[in-house]
Amino acid sequence: MDKAFWHERWQSREIGFHQQHIHEQLLRFWPKLGLPQASTVFVPLAGKSRDMVWLATQGHRVIGVELSDMAVREFFQEGGQVPNRSSSGGFEVSSAGPFEIYCGDFFEMTPDVVKDAVAVYDRAALIALPPDMRVRYAETLARIIPREAIIFLIAIEYPEGEITGPPFSVSPDEVRRLFGAAFEIDVLEARDGLAGSQNLKKRGVTRLVETAYLLRRRS
Average pLDDT of adjacent 10-residue blocks, the chain of 219 residues? 66 61 95 95 96 97 96 95 95 98 96 98 95 96 98 96 91 98 98 89 93 97
- Judge contact between 37 and 59, C-beta under 8 A: yes
What was the pLDDT predicted at 38? 94
Residue 181: CATH number of its domain: 3.40.50.150
- Number of structural domains in the chain: 1
Give the pLDDT confidence score for residue 141 in this predicted structure. Answer: 98
Distance CA 125, CA 6 (A): 12
Output phi, psi for 129, to 5 deg.
-110, 140
pLDDT at position 164 = 85
Q: What is the pTM of this model?
A: 0.94
Residue span of the structural domain in which 156 resides: 3-217
Q: Whose CA is closest to 133, among 61, 43, 44? A: 44
Please tell me the predicted confidence (pLDDT) of residue 17.
56
Residue 99 CA to residue 143 CA, distance in Å, equals 23
pLDDT in the model for residue 63: 98
